[in-house]
Amino acid sequence: MIIDVHWHYIPEEFVETIRVEGNPWGTRAVRDAEGVEWLSARGFGHPLVAELYQPEAQIRAMDRRGVDLAAVSPSPTLFYYHLPAAQVAPLHRMVNDRIAGLVAAYPGRYAGLANVPLQAPALAIAEMERAIGELGFKGVEIGSNINGKNLDEPEFRPFFRRAMELGAFVFIHPSQVLGAERLARYYLTNLIGNPSDTGVAIASLIFGGVYDELPELTCCFAHGGGTFPLLLGRWQHGYRVRPEPRAQGARLPREYLSRIYVDTLTHDDAVRRLALDTVGADHMLLASDLPFDMGDPDPVGTVRRTPGLTAAEQQLILGDTAQRLLRLHDER
């Protein structure tokens, strides 16, 4: 089974809502000079293509890309961590209900990853429990930071603990990236900000003691782990010569490699090879980032063309590891 773990969705009724002025989230649907419809929010935008919100178009895209099953998660534009949790919790609940509808309507094609209001961890836990316990979801998608707070902040520890207890697959996607004011031009918020913020997320879980405290927590990081593979040696050196990385009792960063999963979306064979050499083929998962322009239109071909992979390693990346982490064997 070929499984894509980086596959996004927005409910069509949300799209209909943002086409009307005065919606509660400050997000608009606008058309450019060529008539292309865009989602616009807080200075960021992306095209509202059919593959984002029409299930039939998603399934056709899945078939074109050779994907059997997608671990479907909300577009990160639906996190809304900067808004009061009470304002966005109903939206998150609706999004999760619609994802559950996808899973039910297309048996064997989707596994659900929930949206949760992590700016209010107790509400996030409750919605995660509902999504996994009642809707049959396999995990959650969360941001690389929560409204500017790193993931090792003590207030998030109960959420991660409950995710571990539930066996949830936690897909971590960059959002509200650091240094955004300096990255406003040239799309640098994505080109540099996304991978950089993912690196901060991984470092926070390591140096902040989250992985030590929660030994069975399973997290997968988007975009090949961002800057993490490149910076790991620097973290190792810094750990040895500086007291700060050891302040929370963390071990050498390389000792956490068995805990770190990354996806394939690097846009470069050499960078993907570095990530593979860092975490191993059994810790890399297939990703397309459908339907965004920064995604990979042929993710399966990308894996098959990656130099130096054996057939067994390809199969781990294409689906075997994801099948295990998403607990899909349990349903056979």
Please give the Cα distance from 216 to 278 (Å, whole number).
20
Q: How confident is the model at residue 332 (pLDDT cuts 50, 70, 90)?
A: very low
Please give the Cα distance from 304 to 315 (Å, whole number).
9
Please give the Cα distance from 41 to 289 (Å, whole number).
19
Please give the Cα distance from 158 to 139 (Å, whole number).
16
Q: Is the pLDDT of residue 188 over 50?
A: yes
Q: Sign (positive/negative) of CA torsion 25, 140, 128, 108?
A: positive
Residue pLDDT, tens place only, 273-310: 999 999 999 999 999 998 999 999 999 999 999 989 99
Please give the Cα distance from 204 to 153 (Å, whole number).
9
CA 113 to chain centre: 9
Per-domain residue ranges for the chain?
A: 3-331
Residue pLDDT, tens place only, 171-181: 999 999 999 99
Residue pLDDT, tens place only, 189-246: 999 999 999 999 999 999 999 999 999 999 999 999 999 999 999 999 999 999 999 9
For the ranges 30-34, 69-73, 290-294, which has the lowest average pLDDT?
Answer: 30-34
Q: How confident is the model at residue 21 (pLDDT cuts 50, 70, 90)?
A: confident
Q: Is the pLDDT of residue 267 over 70?
A: yes
pTM of the predicted structure, to 2 decimals? 0.96
Residue pLDDT, tens place only, 131-182: 999 999 999 999 999 999 999 999 999 999 999 999 999 999 999 999 999 9
Longest dimension (CA), the chain: 56
Q: Sign (positive/negative) of CA torsion 173, 175, 178, 180?
A: positive
Q: For residue 232, what pLDDT is reported?
A: 98
Q: Which homologous superfamily is 3-331 in?
A: Metal-dependent hydrolases (3.20.20.140)
Please give the Cα distance from 224 to 4 (Å, whole number).
14
Q: How confident is the model at residue 20 (pLDDT cuts 50, 70, 90)?
A: confident
Q: How confident is the model at residue 32 (pLDDT cuts 50, 70, 90)?
A: confident
More confident residue, 72 or 44: 72
